[in-house]
């Protein structure tokens, strides 16, 4: 199967990508003080130089007191972090690539003791107490407005430093997804109840981001059925329900949907081979990004624990067939790119035998 489909340009309004290869957002925790440094700049530059069309950065926290959940993750607010990101943007652009930040709020995943202010608990749709102590602060309507404003400001800052768009992280059991998910959203106001109500926070947030950046600045929205807390979770069970969920998000201002799955080849619903990205494109008419164990023979969950397992490069034939059939438009590559910055170039040149295998050790360094 010829690999040319991966290396055709992609155009959407002002966004012109040299290839269909996207670098998936992957938390790396190499930004002490929340500031991307020279190692981070070089990490992204190398991928752009080797033919990644669009880089989606690791999750970057928006300017809200509870947005962060992990040590050494980069911020997307404040003079020093934004100056660091500007250097990343310039380095990627110099290599002919495009880049968007993934804007992130971890919500109730945050634990007391986490930087930058150890006294701040997680924020979520519903309050959670443990031993009489608030471990998750149930968000007031003012809190909701504050978080929406933080995302809008981050998007505006992304535009001002030359980013090519933004991705809003609405997946994997973090804050926006916590509102979607009935298991974590027990609210009785207009932000809880039906899935349409549970989507209200995301819709208002997307609308605010669109208002902040104007028309023509791409907004990518990442969503998932599965959650970190439950890999078998399903937000919706049918294509019809998926359409009802996605159409208001699309109308609010999403240009591209990033459809997070663990294995891109798995059908989303019975009776069709289409994966989540395929169904999303069909239902919304918007371009989609597929993702999930691209180019590797083992999916990522095996590496979330201490293990000596190694994921070897895998055939791209199924992926290329689907891309040629226009089931989806762009292909996000995670661990294969994390371990081998030259992955795209090696694929393009037919040097699959030179692609590096992925092991847990790769997470320990930036290459």
pLDDT, one tens digit per residue, over 195-250 is 999 999 999 999 999 999 999 999 999 999 977 666 677 899 999 999 999 999 99
Q: Which of 123, 174, 191, 231 is catalytic?
A: 174
Q: According to the model, what pLDDT value does residue 305 have?
A: 47
Architecture of domain 4-364: Alpha-Beta Barrel (3.20)
Q: pLDDT (tens digit, 9 = 90+) per residue, 296-339?
A: 876 555 544 456 677 777 789 999 999 999 999 999 999 999 99
Q: According to the model, what pLDDT value does residue 329 have?
A: 98
- Let me know if 174 is a catalytic residue: yes
All structural domains of the chain with their residue ranges = 4-364
How is residue 318 written in tokens? Answer: 């199924």
Written as tens digits, the pLDDT of the chain (367 aa) is 689 999 999 999 989 999 999 999 999 999 999 999 999 999 999 999 999 999 999 999 999 999 999 999 999 999 999 999 999 999 999 999 999 999 999 999 999 999 999 999 999 999 999 999 899 999 999 999 999 999 999 999 999 999 999 999 999 999 999 999 999 999 999 999 999 999 999 999 999 999 999 999 999 999 999 776 666 778 999 999 999 999 999 999 999 999 999 899 999 999 999 999 999 999 999 999 999 989 887 655 554 445 667 777 778 999 999 999 999 999 999 999 999 999 999 999 999 889 998 888 888 999 9
Q: How far apart are CA 103 and CA 150, in angstroms?
A: 10
Q: According to the model, what pLDDT value does residue 149 have?
A: 98
How is residue 208 written in tokens? Answer: 């605010």
Q: According to the model, what pLDDT value does residue 303 have?
A: 45
Q: How far apart are CA 48 and CA 342, in angstroms?
A: 9
């Amino acid at each position: 199967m010829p690999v040319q489909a991966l290396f055709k340009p992609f155009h959407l309004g002002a966004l012109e990508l040299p290839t269909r290869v996207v670098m998936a957002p992957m938390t790396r925790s190499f930004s002490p003080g929340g500031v991307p440094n020279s190692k981070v700049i070089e990490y992204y530059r190398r991928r752009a130089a080797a033919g990644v069309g669009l880089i989606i950065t690791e999750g970057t926290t928006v300017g809200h007191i509870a947005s962060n959940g992990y040590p050494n993750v980069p911020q997307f607010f404040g003079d020093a972090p934004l100056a660091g990101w500007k250097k990343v943007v310039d380095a990627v652009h110099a290599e002919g690539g495009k880049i968007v930040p993934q804007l992130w709020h971890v919500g109730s995943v945050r634990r007391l003791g986490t930087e930058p202010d150890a006294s701040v608990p997680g924020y979520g749709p519903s309050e959670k107490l443990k031993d009489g102590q608030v471990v998750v602060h149930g968000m007031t309507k003012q809190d909701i407005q504050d978080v929406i404003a933080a995302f809008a400001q981050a998007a505006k800052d992304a535009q001002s430093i030359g980013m090519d768009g933004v991705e809003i992280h609405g997946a994997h059991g973090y804050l926006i997804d916590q509102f979607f998910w009935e298991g974590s959203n027990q609210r009785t106001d207009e932000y809880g109840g039906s899935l349409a109500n549970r989507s209200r926070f995301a819709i208002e947030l997307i609308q605010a981001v669109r208002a902040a950046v104007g028309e023509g600045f791409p907004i990518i929205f990442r969503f998932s059925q599965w959650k970190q807390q439950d890999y078998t979770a399903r937000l919706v069970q049918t294509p019809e329900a998926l359409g009802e969920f996605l159409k208001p998000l699309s109308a609010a201002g999403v240009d591209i949907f990033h459809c997070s799955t663990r294995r891109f080849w798995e059908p989303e619903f019975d009776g069709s081979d289409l994966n989540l990205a395929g169904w999303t494109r069909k239902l919304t008419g918007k371009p989609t990004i597929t993702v999930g164990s691209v180019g590797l023979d083992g999916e990522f969950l095996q590496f979330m624990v201490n293990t000596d397992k190694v994921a070897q490069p895998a055939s791209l034939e199924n992926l290329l067939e689907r891309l040629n059939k226009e089931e989806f438009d762009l292909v996000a590559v995670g661990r294969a790119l994390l371990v081998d910055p030259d992955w795209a170039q090696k694929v393009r040149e037919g040097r699959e035998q030179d692609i590096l295998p992925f092991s847990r050790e790769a997470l320990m360094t930036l290459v």
